[in-house]
């Protein structure tokens, strides 16, 4: 999507030098837009572990390119063995990211039957590109399908502004391009539909206020940042036509784990007859789990994300204490929205009910 009027992806090959991969250092957003060069295994591993890149899709793509960068610096006869070691290093850079393992294993299987070093490097670059392109395509398709929902609401409202609420960042920054929850919104905006986005701040890490707001601002999409507390009031007063969020994991029955607070918005949407959609690439489904609330373990994160807050002042980003030092804090990473509160799931294959039957209509092979 656009940054300062120019189209970007979150990861790309340096235009003058195909031995350099470039990324956006997302830790510095929204205050500074900094592009970093990845030149070897170490810089790729660091980009993932230090969270310069985040989001399942982008982590997978970075791992794909990371394998290619690792190969560039291998000269020994046993480069395949060394690549397996490189893969293990990448896999450990963020142990819970399933796309990471998937991308590394895909790269390793691509070169399995190849002989020469040159063939392997070429294949690794091509596959890394493919992994990135597939991710972008999948998000684009989510946008195509989700767009139909927005288009219908716009028609029903006779062209008046369609107000869409989103929580956290399921934007292009979390993928290679387009995003999941944001993809239908970008498509609608680019198609000339009058859209406006309510951006939940998304405490405690503020991914909404920092990343989603930045994305929408740079692409030109009208939006308003609100405290996470505001969504219920907005829905009570007819100021939200549609909610779309992403998901970290969706059960085969349609329960959705997503950033903490999503469940509260789903309850408010239900109470006010506002359609509530989850947008996800099919890789987000967990086909082994049925009861999201009971079975999905919810990670507790560092309390420092709650009692300190990061902000910009005097030309630099700093941490500030925002409550009494002696008070305990708790920091649950996400919550689970039961399928009964979800109007539908928007996937790259189309839209389905958030139910085992609904999901099976789109994914009969599962």
CB of 63 to a second copy, least distance (A): 29
CB of 199 closer than 8 Å to CB of 166? yes
Tokens representing 262?
């999503």
CB of 15 closer than 8 Å to CB of 22? no
Q: 215: which strand partners? A: none
Is 89 or 267 the residue whose CB approaches a second copy more closely? 267
In terms of C-beta density within 10 A (0-12 exposed, 13-18 middle, 19 or more buried), how is residue 173 classed? buried
- Of 199, 190, 119, 117, whose CA–CA distance to 150 is shortest? 190
CB of 334 to a second copy, least distance (A): 8
CB of 276 closer than 8 Å to CB of 269? yes
Our finding on whether 118 is near a second copy (CB under 8 A) is: no
Beta strands at 6-7 and 334-337: parallel, antiparallel or unpaired: unpaired
User: Under DSSP, is residue 358 helix (H, G, I), strand (E, B) or coil?
Assistant: helix
CA-CA distances (angstroms) from residue 122 to 10, 99, 128, 315?
22, 22, 10, 43
Q: Is 248 a catalytic residue?
A: yes
**Which of these is catalytic: 177, 228, 248, 255?**
248
Query: Which range of residues in 109-117, 182-190, 276-284, 333-341 is near a second copy by CB under 8 A?
Result: 333-341
Residue in 260, 278, 279, 342 binding a second copy, rule: CB under 8 A: 260
Residue in 68, 79, 263, 277 binding a second copy, rule: CB under 8 A: 263
CB of 164 to a second copy, least distance (A): 14
Our finding on whether 103 is near a second copy (CB under 8 A) is: no
Our finding on whether 289 is near a second copy (CB under 8 A) is: no
CB of 245 closer than 8 Å to CB of 258? yes
Query: Which range of residues in 88-96, 267-275, 280-288, 357-365 is near a second copy by CB under 8 A?
Result: 267-275
Is 68 or 334 the residue whose CB approaches a second copy more closely? 334
Our finding on whether 315 is near a second copy (CB under 8 A) is: no
Our finding on whether 231 is near a second copy (CB under 8 A) is: yes
Residue in 91, 223, 249, 252 binding a second copy, rule: CB under 8 A: 223
Beta strands at 276-279 and 242-245: parallel, antiparallel or unpaired: parallel
CB of 1 to a second copy, least distance (A): 15
**Pairwise CA distance, residues 161 & 290, whole Å:** 38
CB of 27 closer than 8 Å to CB of 1? no
| Residues forming the active site | 248
Name the residues that contact a second copy, by CB under 8 A.
30-31, 198-199, 201-204, 206, 209-210, 213-214, 216-217, 222-234, 236-237, 259-261, 263-265, 267-268, 271, 293, 298, 306-313, 318-324, 326-332, 334-336
């Amino acid at each position: 999507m656009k940054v300062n009027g120019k189209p970007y992806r979150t990861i790309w090959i340096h235009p003058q030098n195909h031995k350099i991969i470039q990324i956006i250092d997302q830790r510095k957003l929204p205050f500074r837009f900094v592009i970093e060069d990845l030149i070897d295994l170490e810089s790729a591993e660091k980009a993932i572990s230090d969270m310069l890149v985040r989001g399942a899709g982008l982590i997978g793509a970075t791992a794909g390119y990371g394998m290619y960068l690792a190969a560039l610096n291998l000269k020994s006869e046993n480069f395949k063995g060394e690549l397996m070691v490189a893969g293990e290093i990448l896999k450990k850079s963020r142990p819970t990211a399933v796309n990471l393992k998937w991308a590394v294993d895909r790269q390793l299987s691509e070169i399995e039957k190849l002989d020469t070093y040159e063939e392997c490097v070429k294949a690794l670059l091509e596959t890394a590109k493919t992994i990135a392109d597939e991710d972008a395509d999948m998000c684009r398709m989510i946008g195509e399908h989700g767009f139909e929902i927005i288009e219908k609401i716009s028609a029903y409202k006779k062209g008046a502004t369609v107000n869409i609420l989103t929580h956290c960042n399921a934007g292009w920054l979390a993928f290679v391009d387009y995003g999941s929850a944001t993809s239908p919104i970008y498509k609608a905006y680019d198609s000339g539909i009058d859209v406006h986005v309510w951006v939940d701040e998304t405490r405690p890490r503020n991914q909404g206020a920092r990343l989603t707001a930045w994305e929408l601002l740079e692409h030109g999409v009208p939006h308003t940042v609100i405290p996470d507390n505001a969504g219920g009031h907005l829905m009570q007063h007819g100021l939200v036509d549609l909610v779309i969020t992403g998901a970290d994991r969706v059960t085969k029955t349609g329960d959705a784990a997503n950033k903490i607070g999503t469940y509260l918005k789903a309850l408010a949407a239900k109470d006010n007859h506002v359609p509530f959609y989850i947008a996800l690439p099919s890789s987000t489904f967990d086909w082994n789990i049925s009861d999201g609330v009971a079975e999905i373990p919810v990670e507790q994160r560092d309390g420092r994300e709650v009692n300190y807050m990061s902000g910009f002042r005097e030309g630099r980003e700093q941490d500030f204490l925002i409550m009494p030092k002696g008070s305990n804090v708790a920091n649950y990473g996400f919550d689970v929205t039961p399928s009964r509160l979800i109007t539908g799931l928007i996937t790259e294959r189309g839209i389905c009910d958030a139910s085992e039957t609904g999901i099976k209509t789109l994914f009969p092979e599962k």
